[in-house]
Amino acid sequence: MSKGLGWRRWVLMAAVLCLVVLAVFTVLRLRTNRSLGLAAQEFRQAVGPVDLVELAPASVPPRRNAAHWLAKAMDFPKTASKEDLLDLRTLAYQELGNLGEEDLRRGKEILSHQSSTLEQLHRMEGLTSSSFDLAYDEGHRMEIPNLLGVLNCGRLLLLEARLALVEGEQQKAWRSLAAMRSLADAVYGEPMLIFTLIGAASERMLLLGVQDALLLGVEDPSSWYQLVSLPTGDRYQDRFRGALNGEGALAYWMAAHVDTGEGVGNSRGLLALGNPMHRVFTKRLVTAMLSHYSQVNQSYPLGSFAELRASSRLTRPSGERLFQSFGPDFELVAGRLKLNEAIGQVARLALGLAADGDLAGEEQVEASRSDPFTGQPLEIAEQADGSLVITLPEGTELWETVFPSDQKETYRLFRWVVPAPAELTVSAL
């Protein structure tokens, strides 16, 4: 009799324990869903929509779609020789003064091998609308093109522009630079982190081409106005928000679909494996991500990159260890965009001074006194030959936070020379 009572007691205790666990889990699930809803609401107000479909760029007819022509060209590395790709990278970034006759011959040979690719890329010139027509409704299952091909397309156009400048074919060079501007804008147009980083890298290639044009000088004064329009300076906050919005919406898609098990085993590795605790974990992680992104979005316009780092506004929440592993590094994104903003500002100032003092008006000169990257005044020095040298303030530690020190092509952009005779002197500045 006692054995029967003991058995029943254990069964009753197990049943009670299961009920307690079920009740605790139910409360946890309800609180998790509520927290996720509040985080999504905050994200909508601070950043943008959490529905991925709402973020998709409007469809553009192929002929007017810069991304359409870029997509046709960006697979050329699959068929190009390894030697061509290696030499393309070297020649695209090598300083003009170090290009010898053999380098010029080799550069022309590479361009001739990719004449059809260049034809596709030049179809982008002047196009301001773009869409890669990605399946945003598929969330983490969305197929993303191999964007490394975009970088090689940028190098191809940069090499073409540089060789044209060396040979005095300025109009041809301007066409190549204009295509590079359209390329960068096309990639920037997709509101996702990887597109933002590739767009920023493509834009730095454009700035290298603009720097080369400045160093060699421009024969036609009207061409200065064409060059000044290439470095944009007022859209970096929107690009940063776009990257945040895309990552947040992708995370929310994951949380919205975890209950149905859609996307299990996706390549990003964030979607839970389907059991109830994994579902709760996923939603708690997404809640932390959305809340953090809402805070980060408010940080970008508040100061230089140096000030952002010092204030820890971009730091991931220390209490969320899993977030440390899964969350994107928006400090890196903000740093690269701030650096592009700083270099573009110096480029516009240098071009304005080289062309005409009126192109570098008082407002632009005043704005240039504070570098958006380091937060320090620009260094402007007059040389003995009458040229001006405009340099970003020394910030090696900050630069290496954003780029490895061996990426010398980026470091070259920190120093701009305005050929003599410069329209304004240091004392006038």
pLDDT at 424 over 70: no
Tokens of residue 94, six digits: 């090598």
**Average pLDDT for the chain:** 81
pLDDT at 351: 83
Confidence of residue 87 (pLDDT cuts 50, 70, 90): very high
Confidence of residue 404 (pLDDT cuts 50, 70, 90): low
Q: Measured between alpha carbons, how far is 314 from 194 in angstroms, rounded to an integer?
A: 18
* Residue 262 one-letter amino acid: E
Q: Measured between alpha carbons, how far is 310 from 394 in angstroms, rounded to an integer?
A: 17
pLDDT at 282 over 50: yes
**Mean per-residue pLDDT, 1-26:** 66
Q: Measured between alpha carbons, how far is 78 from 83 in angstroms, rounded to an integer?
A: 13
pLDDT at 254: 84
pLDDT at 257 over 90: no
* Residue 52 one-letter amino acid: L
Helix (H, G, I), strand (E, B) or coil at 177: helix
Query: Degrees (nearest 5) of the Cα angle 313, 317, 323?
Result: 125
Q: Measured between alpha carbons, how far is 410 from 405 in angstroms, rounded to an integer?
A: 9
> 189 near 123, Cβ under 8 Å?
no
**Mean per-residue pLDDT, 118-146:** 90
DSSP readout, 279-316? Answer: HHHHHHHHHHHHHHHHHHHTTGGGS-HHHHHHHTTTPP
For the ranges 41-50, 81-90, 162-171, 317-326, which has the lowest average pLDDT? Answer: 317-326
For the ranges 4-8, 163-167, 424-428, which has the lowest average pLDDT? Answer: 424-428
pLDDT at 408: 61
Q: Measured between alpha carbons, how far is 320 from 288 in angstroms, rounded to an integer?
A: 8
pLDDT at 78 over 50: yes
Among residues 108, 120, 107, which one has the least CA distance to residue 149?
120
What phi and psi, each to the nearest 5 degrees, are found at residue 418? -95, 110
8-state DSSP, 129: B
Confidence of residue 84 (pLDDT cuts 50, 70, 90): very high
> 313 near 299, Cβ under 8 Å?
yes
Q: What ranges in 318-379 are assigned the alpha helix state H?
A: 321-326, 330-355, 362-367
8-state DSSP, 415: E
For the ranges 115-129, 255-269, 355-369, which has the lowest average pLDDT? Answer: 355-369
Confidence of residue 417 (pLDDT cuts 50, 70, 90): confident
Tokens of residue 182, six digits: 């359209």
User: How many residues are listed for the chain in this entry?
Assistant: 429
Confidence of residue 2 (pLDDT cuts 50, 70, 90): low
Residues 6+ apart with CB under 8 A from 272: 258, 264, 278, 279, 281, 282
**Mean per-residue pLDDT, 262-291:** 66
* Residue 126 one-letter amino acid: G
Confidence of residue 392 (pLDDT cuts 50, 70, 90): confident
pLDDT at 272: 43
What phi and psi, each to the nearest 5 degrees, are found at residue 381? -130, 140
For the ranges 91-105, 336-350, 379-393, which has the lowest average pLDDT? Answer: 379-393
pTM for the model: 0.85
pLDDT at 68: 93
* Residue 372 one-letter amino acid: P
Tokens of residue 243, six digits: 């990257």
Q: Measured between alpha carbons, how far is 106 from 83 in angstroms, rounded to an integer?
A: 11
Confidence of residue 388 (pLDDT cuts 50, 70, 90): confident
pLDDT at 79: 86
* Residue 334 one-letter amino acid: A
Confidence of residue 22 (pLDDT cuts 50, 70, 90): low
Query: Degrees (nearest 5) of the Cα angle 392, 197, 304?
Result: 35
For the ranges 78-87, 139-148, 413-422, which has the lowest average pLDDT? Answer: 413-422
Confidence of residue 123 (pLDDT cuts 50, 70, 90): very high
